[in-house]
Amino acid sequence: METRGALRVSLVVMFALVQGCGIQVVPTSGPDLSSSGLAPAEPQTSSAPQTASIPQPSTAPLNDPVSTSFLPGGSPPEQAPAAPQGTGTTAALESWRGGKLPPAEFFSLLAPAVMEASRRTGVPAAVTLAQAALETGYGKSTIGDAKNLFGIKGTGPAGSVTVPTREVVNGRSVTVQGKFRKYNSWTESIVDHDKLLATGSRYARAMQYRTDPERYAREIHKAGYATDPAYADKLIQIIRENNLVGLTTA
């Protein structure tokens, strides 16, 4: 009896110690853990399982040079200045060495640089393309190495060249020696052409019709751009046959 009493006292003392340590003995339908002294983990307070946070892929556009999604503080590093507009579009033009081209190829080659100049000056791109085609014979003659696409006379950024040229004088076509502007690049020739028409006082009236390429062509002819009496008609024919208005406004 004393042994049983002592055992009962020992069990009571052990139970009190267990309770004092905050350890609960929880019934379970699984394996009996009471003999090992371990208790199951307490259940989570949330009904949904917790998962680790996974960074999501950046949603920055593909053409964005730097995505700041994974950069400390979200600040991009310093970047090189953007290239000037138009440099890429004129690369093919500047690699051209001159020479006659089929009309479609000729216009496609010049169009990017011509349209860029037109956006800056307001000079109709369709007229500029037609003039380049007429003055050079679609690239056949660019006045030697002058890169002069429009037959503009005088001294240019790279000097001048003197060559024989046909002019209409007193109703007669004659050959005279003409001094023509020389350029460092084809693009420079286009820019100079548009600057001449956009700022030259004699072409001020023509600029009033910059949204009407055919009327514009007639006005620059009246202002003395060329001596050929059929000059404007030839430009308009080129514009219509090659749909240059559509090409430059698409």
Q: Which is catalytic among the residues 94, 145, 167, 241?
A: 167
Which residue is it, tokens 């503080």? Answer: 73
- Between CA 199 and CA 207 the distance in angstroms is 9
Q: What is the pLDDT of residues 124-140, one digit of tens each?
A: 999 999 999 999 999 99
Collapse the DSSP code of 4 into the 3-class scheme (helix H, G, I; strand E, B; otherwise coil) and give the result.
helix
Amino acid in the structure at residue 124: P
Q: How far apart are CA 36 and CA 38, in angstroms?
A: 5
Active site residue 192: yes
Task: Give the contacts of 105 (CB within 8 A, at least 6 positions apart).
Answer: none
The 3-state DSSP class for residue 207 equals: helix
Residue 29 backbone dihedrals phi, psi, to 5 degrees: -85, -5
Beta strands in 107-205 (DSSP E): 160-169, 172-181
Task: Quote the CA–CA distance of 79 and 73 in Å, as a whole number.
Answer: 17
Which CATH number is 91-142+186-249 given?
1.10.530.10
- Please pick, among 116, 135, 188, 192, the residue that the annotation labels catalytic: 192
* pLDDT per residue rounded down to tens, the chain (250 residues): 544 544 454 444 454 444 444 444 444 444 333 333 333 334 343 443 443 333 333 333 333 333 222 223 333 333 323 333 444 567 899 999 999 999 999 999 999 999 999 999 999 999 999 999 999 999 999 998 999 999 999 999 999 999 999 888 888 889 999 999 999 999 999 999 999 999 999 999 999 999 999 999 999 999 999 999 999 999 999 999 999 998 776 5
pLDDT digits (tens, 9 = 90+) for 53-94: 333 333 333 333 332 222 233 333 333 233 334 445 678 999
Active site residue 233: no
Would you say 201 and 218 are in contact if contact means Cβ atoms under 8 Å apart? no
Record the pTM.
0.64
Segments making up each domain of the chain, as ranges = 91-142+186-249
